Homo-oligomer: A and B are copies of this chain.
Amino acid sequence: MQTQIQLGESTAYIVANQPMLFAKAELKGPAINYARNEEIFGEGEAAEYVYKVISGSVRAFRILSDGRRQIMAFYMPGDIFGVEPGDDHVISCEAISASTIVVVKRATLFKTAERDVEVARGLLAVTAAELRRSQNHALLLIKNAQERLAAFILEMADRVNRKGCVNLPMSRQDIADYLGLTIETVSRTLSQFAARSTIELVASREIVLRNRAALSDLNS
């Protein structure tokens, strides 16, 4: 099993054993269902669990004092999240759509890592993948609107690809908060892409890539 990580225009694969974290019998936990927009954990709460998306999707975010929201990441089926360095969560997570999520006690995981090298490696791999993701995100935030959306569409196409049709679980507001733009700019830029046949807006949350090269060019 491999974990895919975006590196600018190229795509690198690191042999990550993240799934192993949840493969060991002792690390199996219950699957929990979350409703649309339900909070999974909030900023400031004790980080008691580690999570894995089975179905649905999740947004991880932070809120500034004046209400601005920065979405740090989206998690799709197969992704692990909630691994944080400190004892408390500094980010919040919510289900974007109705989701099934496996939870594992963090303490158990860390204790197992002390004696099981595989689990320790897995923990490091998860954290490292998260770091890479965050660094790519920071790189995205210095680009202009078109470039940000191109990067976003390509990222999503890689992650939820179904025969060329990209199905977005999140709203325009979620996309805007992820890309550091306003909802209007997101909408306008997608319309521009559609106007020049770079993409096709089948539905507001369903995109077909018509000209991947044009998007890649924008993705520096």
| Number of residues of chain A lying within 8 A (CB) of chain B | 44
Shortest Cβ gap from A219 to chain B (Å): 9
Write the nearest CB–CB distance from A150 to chain B, whole angstroms: 13
- Say yes or no: A142-B85 contact (C-beta < 8 A), given A90-B132, A128-B127: no
> Which of B9, B85, B135 has a CB less than 8 Å from the CB of A132?
B85
With a cutoff of 8 Å between Cβ atoms, the chain B residues found around residue A138 in the complex are: 70, 72, 134, 137-138, 141
A14 at the interface (CB under 8 A from B): yes
CB of A37 to closest CB in B, whole Å: 22
A91 within 8 A of B: yes
Residues of B within 8 A of A8 (CB): 62, 64
Instruction: Assess the B14–A70 pair: CB atoms within 8 A.
Output: no
In the complex, chain A residues 80-132 whose Cβ is within 8 Å of any chain B Cβ: 84-88, 90-91, 113-114, 117, 120, 123-125, 127-132
Task: Decide if A62 touches B141 in the complex (CB within 8 Å).
Answer: no
Q: How far is the CA of A125 from the CA of B113 in the complex (A)?
A: 14
Q: Does residue A68 face the partner (Cβ distance < 8 Å to B)? A: yes
Q: A139 contacts the other chain (Cβ, under 8 Å)?
A: yes
Give the CA-CA distance A87 to B14 in the complex, in Å: 8
**What is the chain B residue whose CB lies nearest that of A180?**
B142
A214 at the interface (CB under 8 A from B): no
Closest B residue by C-beta to A7: B90
Given the complex of chains A and B, what is the CA–CA distance between A90 and B5 in angstroms?
12
* Contact code string A123-160 (vs B, CB < 8 Å = 1, else 0): 11101111110110111011100000000000000000
Residue pair A127, B132 in contact (C-beta under 8 Å): no
Contact A86 B135 (CB under 8 A): no
Contact check, A86 vs B180: say whether CB atoms are below 8 A apart. Answer: no
User: Cα distance A14–B125 when bound, in Å?
Assistant: 20
Residue from B72, B86, B139 within 8 A of A14 (CB atoms): B86
Of B90, B125, B130, B142, the residue contacting A70 (CB under 8 A) is B142
Does A35 lie at the interface of the complex (its beta carbon under 8 Å from any beta carbon of B)?
no
Measured between alpha carbons, how far is A109 from B57 in the docked complex, in Å? 36
Contact with B along A175-190 (1 / 0, CB 8 A): 0000010000000000
